[in-house]
């Protein structure tokens, strides 16, 4: 590893440590996660894992429509219960 690569891993590991609330004893985990992240960034696009594909809708799904949602009118709603106002204690 060259100095630039180590510096990037160190900075990333430090950021992970801070994001997790600076816990004690997780330095190895943070270093490994940072190393993997920096290595993944530095790989050429052809070597990176392919992005997950989205599921496609079938023709049967495409023609299906949903029934419109019924919205409640103001008179359909029951009146809200009003809270009793607090009174100051008598002195």
pLDDT of 86: 65
* Distances 12 to 37, 38, 48, 57 between C-alpha atoms, Å: 8, 8, 20, 39
Q: Which residues of the chain have pLDDT under 70?
A: 1, 45-89, 91
- pTM value? 0.47
The whole-number pLDDT of residue 43 equals 82
Q: What is the pLDDT of residue 7?
A: 95
Instruction: Using DSSP, state whether 30 is helix, strand or coil.
Output: helix
């Amino acid at each position: 590893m060259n100095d630039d690569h180590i510096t990037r891993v160190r900075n990333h590991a430090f950021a992970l440590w801070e994001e997790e609330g600076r816990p004690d004893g997780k330095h190895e985990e943070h270093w490994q996660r940072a190393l993997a992240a920096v290595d993944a960034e530095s790989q050429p696009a052809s070597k990176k894992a392919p992005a997950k594909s989205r599921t496609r809708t079938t023709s049967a799904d495409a023609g299906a429509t949903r029934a419109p949602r019924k919205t409640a009118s103001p008179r359909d709603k029951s009146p809200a219960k009003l809270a009793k106002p607090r009174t100051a204690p008598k002195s």
